[in-house]
Amino acid sequence: MTGWVAANLISVLNGLAIGALLFVLAVGLSLVFGMMDVLNLAHGALFVVGAYLAAALTGGGASWGAFLGALGLAAVIGLLGGGLLSVMTEPLRRRSHLDQALLTLGVALIVAELLQIVFGDDPLAVPAPPGLDGSTSVFGAAYPTYRLVLIGVGAVLAVGVWLLVERTTLGALVRATVADRDMVAAIGVDNRRVKITVFALGSLLATVAGVLGGPVYGASVGLDSTVLILALVVVVIGGLGSVRGALVGALVIGQIESLGRALLPDLASFVLFGALALVLIVRPRGLFGGRSGATA
Amino acid sequence: MAEFTLSRRTLLTLFGAAAATPVLAACGSSVGGGSAGSTGGGATGPVKVGLVIPQSGVYAALGTDMQRGWDLWLSQHDKKIGGRDVTTIVADEGENPQTGVPAVQRVLQADQVDVVVGLVNSATALGAAPVVSEAKKLLVVTNAGAADITGKARTPYVWRTSFQNAQVAAAAGPYLAQQNVQGGVFLIAPDYAAGTEVRAGFKAAYEAAGGKIAGEAAPPFGTTQDYQPFLSQIRQSGAGAVFCFFAGAEAVRFVQQYAQFGLKDTVPLYGSGFLTEGGVLTAQGAAAVGVKTSLFYTDRLDNPANRVFVDAYRGAYQAVPTCYSVSTWDAAAVLDRALGKATALDGDALSAALGGVGAIDDSPRGPWTFDGQNPRQTMYLRTVEGTPGSLYNAVTADLGQKAQV
Amino acid sequence: MTPALSCHGLRRSFGALRAVDDVDLTVEAGARHALIGPNGAGKSTVFRLLSGRMRPDAGTVRLADRDVTRLSEVARCRLGMSQTLQHTSLFASLTAAETVALAVRRHGPTGGGARIEPWPRRHPAVDARCAELLADVGLADVAARPVPALSHGERKQLEVALALACAPTVLMLDEPAAGMSPAESARLLALLDGLPREVTVLFVEHDLDLVFDLADRVTVLHLGRVLLSGTPDEVRASDAVREAYLGTGRREELFTS
């Protein structure tokens, strides 16, 4: 019995680690979709760019220098990539979601193909930085040290993003734009610049998540669509354009993917989308989707 | 997800990036080709082969190995099969039947090939079977391992030089039963057709030999990034060993996470050979050392044919061959025998000729014969040895000749 | 004297429909100018063409002595044209005070333009200006309340405060009294009536009582064209206006006040 409890506590802990990573991945997607109505299907590709960067830089051997270098480079690429995506979707702002989704899907496909050409077809692994590559004993069982650290890093990033959005003027502007884009324009704020800023920061978080997720997920062809679907599920469950929603959605999905699969192994393929269906039936706008968040 | 890859390539072509990409440049082009000094004429006219292998998507790495195996055989044999000049038309199988079956149709209809070789995906092979049957052309499958391809859905036109999923897994059953694993063996493979065949194949062979299954798990295929819940289940089951089947990125993640969660040192990991074959082994690194798998080939096999093969392969591609290279190399080898005897290039003539090729004694995998339309071949237990960067599958045991299950 | 806002030859079509057809309009500085007309007259389209939300097919828009036809809504706002919108949800996750503060930070506590700084620094001047604006529109008591907790009338008042925070020379209101109770409507009237004369007001309104109480100048649109532009009395007396609204012979029912 104690063994059973300990094993499930490890699943809970693991759900936190996965949830932390999912939050970093999904919050940018949520804000960009909620604010500017741009469904950025290239978000998964940005994650994979980060993962491949980490694989490439740590390919010669794991070191802190390589790992932090990958984080820094991924952040810069994320900023530039996000800004570029924002500019690319700008001419389509008055068009339907579908047009923007098709454009970003096209970008995602091109990026994925280029990554495959540059880095090859074989799946690549990303070693955790020295000191974090071992295991720590938790509840009497070995648990990867890196994942413990990941929980902490995710928490720090979540607090950082929350402070930025809830406690700064830029954040107030972001929230205002989520709620009523036209009104923001009416008080004389150029919301294209707000959009570029949020797009760039959200994309930065996606590429950084790719590096952080490297030691867990590796880098491989097809990973982009898998993580994109996870991020979309997080956004749908949490509600659009809400930091709190993205955080809760990510933690819920983390637990479903971890504890849910551990408790219901026979329904492993079903629990994720079962939970999604349940949320959509009970709260069609997601757990934290406001009435105004998804309008216009 | 699957459709993404199809349109990914289409899109790239549209954007004109094709010119910059060597992989794409090979798409639809002819490799090999008839040489000026052909014997020509009569029953020894040229033969056109459609090599349908993945050039895009998650299986692209396998496609590369397959093409290398094919090209190597041709270059070692004066670019002739059965005395005929060969023209090879390469087509992209993609990830799934939606791309693979049309690719088969295309080489048959647009390129008018005489024989189709390749196919990684089992669903694609099963979908292509009626297509080649209707065209009365021969298809030699060089990877796809579903039992039905040469079993329930058998047609005289589809032969296989690779393996059957259950055949590979079942080979490890009696061996593990002999090891008398305390607590029994835990069985884990993804919840799709191949995974199910592996679980059923291993379970039947292991239990028949007196073993006890400690538990089973079927993680969602293609969407499982994290195996912790299943590793937790394994730990709780009290199993003394694990037998698994994973390929590609899933194989890398599973083997690494198996080590990270501390199971590697306490519960030995066994699996179907694809777990540690080719590029995935490099990515797995130290986590893979000691993992034991069953397969019909490893580049470390000590026989004269393999030594020559590995040297030539290394020389040509600066890489070690995989089972995927060998299956395709062998496809050329059996076609060589069949075309030498056959009077015509249609499927009926070639199928009849293949039925009479007898023992293939010059294969790098060791001697094998057709059992029905699938190889009867020796399986080996292989152990990952070496250090990260130079890992290899050493031969640990000869598991004996295995027929199709 | 230069008009505060004017347009000349303004046209805008939607497919075959000429929603706005050669409209000239002059809003004198300090005026309380109403834009009225029956449904489909093109009021909202003219409003959007003037505010910059929509681009005209032809014609020019001038703000004071400057041609702003090619300028965006945001740029026009910076030049002193401020507006409230007909359908607005305001900012659901902000309080009334935070909402106004956003605009005050954008335009500076004394007007004249500033930048929104990303980092929260307390500016006593910003806080003071916010409190002043909220008091002006009668929302001092609910400053700390989140926007969704405000009543419909209070939200409209907040919108006016938001528009005033932009330190406008021209204030444009799109149906400010829509959906208001008579009490709320009366309070809004008092608020607009009390605005300093340096602020020119142009408003689109359905409630003709409010129009004739507040406006000193009225332009009537009909089928995308200007039917009449004059004093409230001239509009009241016009048969053409009566016909446009009601068809013939029912004048009394239209103008009851």
Do the Cβ atoms of A169 and C118 come within 8 Å? yes
* Domain end point (choices C112, C145, C167): C167
CB atoms within 10 A of CB B77: 15
Q: What is the pLDDT of residue C140?
A: 87
Spell out the residues 6+ positions from residue B60 whose beta carbon is closer than 8 angstroms to its own: A116, A121, A221, B23, B54
Q: Please, how many CA atoms are within 13 Å of residue B373, restricted to the half-sphere of its CB?
A: 25
- State the residue range of the domain holding C53: 1-80+169-257
C176 and C160 in a common domain: no
- With b for 16 or more beta-carbon neighbours within 10 A and e for fewer, the B366-387 pattern comes to bebebbebbbbbbbbbbbbeee
Of B234, B255, B235, B233, the residue nearest B246 (C-alpha): B255
- The residues in B 233-252 lying below 8 A from A, measured between CB atoms, are 233, 235-236, 248-249, 251-252
pLDDT at A243: 85
Has domain B2-163+303-372 been given CATH number 3.40.50.11540?
A: no
Does C246 lie in the same domain as C146? no
pLDDT of residue A295: 30
Q: Which numeric CATH code is attached to B166-295+379-402?
A: 3.40.50.2300
With respect to residue A181, please indicate whether it lies within any of the assigned structural domains. Answer: yes
Rounded distance between C-alpha atoms, residue B284 and residue A126, angstroms: 10
Residue C20, strand partner residues: C12
The pair phi, psi for residue C72, each rounded to 5°, is -75, 170
Please, are residues A78 and A46 in contact by the beta-carbon 8 Å criterion?
yes
The residue out of C125, C152, C167 marking a domain boundary is C167
Expressed as residue numbers, the domain containing A41 is 18-220
Interchain pair C94, A176: CB under 8 A: yes
Helix, strand, or coil (residue B141):
strand
pLDDT < 70: residue spans in chain C: 87-89, 110-122, 246-257
Does C174 lie in the same domain as C54? yes
The low-confidence residues of chain B, meaning pLDDT below 70, are 1-43
Chain B CB within 8 Å of residue A11 CB? yes
| Residues C50 and C70 reside in one and the same domain | yes
Hey, are the CB atoms on A127 and B285 less than 8 Å from each other?
A: yes
User: Which of A93, A169, A240, A244 would best serve as a mutation to test chain C binding (most C beta carbons within 10 A)?
Assistant: A169
Q: Output the pLDDT for position A291.
A: 42
| A124 lies in some domain | yes
Count of domains observed in chain C: 2
Does A65 score more than 50 pLDDT? yes
Task: Kindly report, residue by residue over A209-252, the tens digit of the pLDDT.
Answer: 999 999 999 999 889 988 999 999 999 888 887 888 899 999 99
Percent of chain A with pLDDT over 90: 45
> Where do the structural domains in chain B lie, given as residue ranges?
2-163+303-372, 166-295+379-402
The answer to whether C89 faces chain A, any CB pair under 8 Å, is: yes
Predicted pLDDT at B280: 93
Domain limit, last residue, from C167, C194, C210: C167
Residue type, A63: S
Strand pairing class (B185-188; B115-118): unpaired
pLDDT in tens, B322-367: 999 999 999 999 999 999 888 899 999 999 999 999 999 999 999 9
Q: CA of C178 to nearest chain A CA: how many angstroms apart?
A: 17
- Cα B4–Cα B6–Cα B9 angle in degrees, nearest 5: 105
Domain match, C146 and C28 both: no
Q: Which is more confidently placed, B75 or A93?
A: B75
Residue C7 lies in a domain: yes
Residue A254 lies in a domain: no
**If you search the block for the tokens 């024989």, which residue do you land on?**
B115
C74 touches chain A (CB under 8 A): yes
C148 within domain boundaries:
yes
For position B85, what pLDDT does the model report? Answer: 94
Same domain, C101 and C127: yes
* Interchain pair B229, A116: CB under 8 A: no
**Is B318 an interface residue toward A (CB < 8 Å)?**
no
| Contact between B379 and B402 (Cβ < 8 Å) | yes
As for how many domains chain A has, the answer is 1
Which string of DSSP letters, residue by residue, matches chain C? ---SEEEEEEEEEETTEEEEEEEEEEE-TT-EEEEE-STTSSHHHHHHHHHTSS--SEEEEEETTEE-TTS-HHHHHHTTEEEE-SS----TTSBHHHHHHHHHHHH-TTSS-----SS----HHHHHHHHHHHHHTT-GGGTTSBGGGS-HHHHHHHHHHHHHHT--SEEEEESTTTT--HHHHHHHHHHHHTS-TTSEEEEE-S-HHHHHHH-SEEEEEETTEEEEEE-HHHHHH-HHHHHHHH-TT-HHHH---
Local confidence band at A292 (pLDDT 50, 70, 90 cut-offs): very low
Residue at A190 is within a domain = yes
Handedness of CA C34, C37, C40, C42 (dihedral sign): negative
How large is the ipTM? 0.82
Decide if C90 touches A, using CB distance below 8 A: yes
On whether residue C85 sits in a domain, the answer given is: no
Return the closest-CA partner of residue A212 out of A83, A25, A15, A10. Answer: A25
**E strand map for A81-234:** 135-138, 141-144
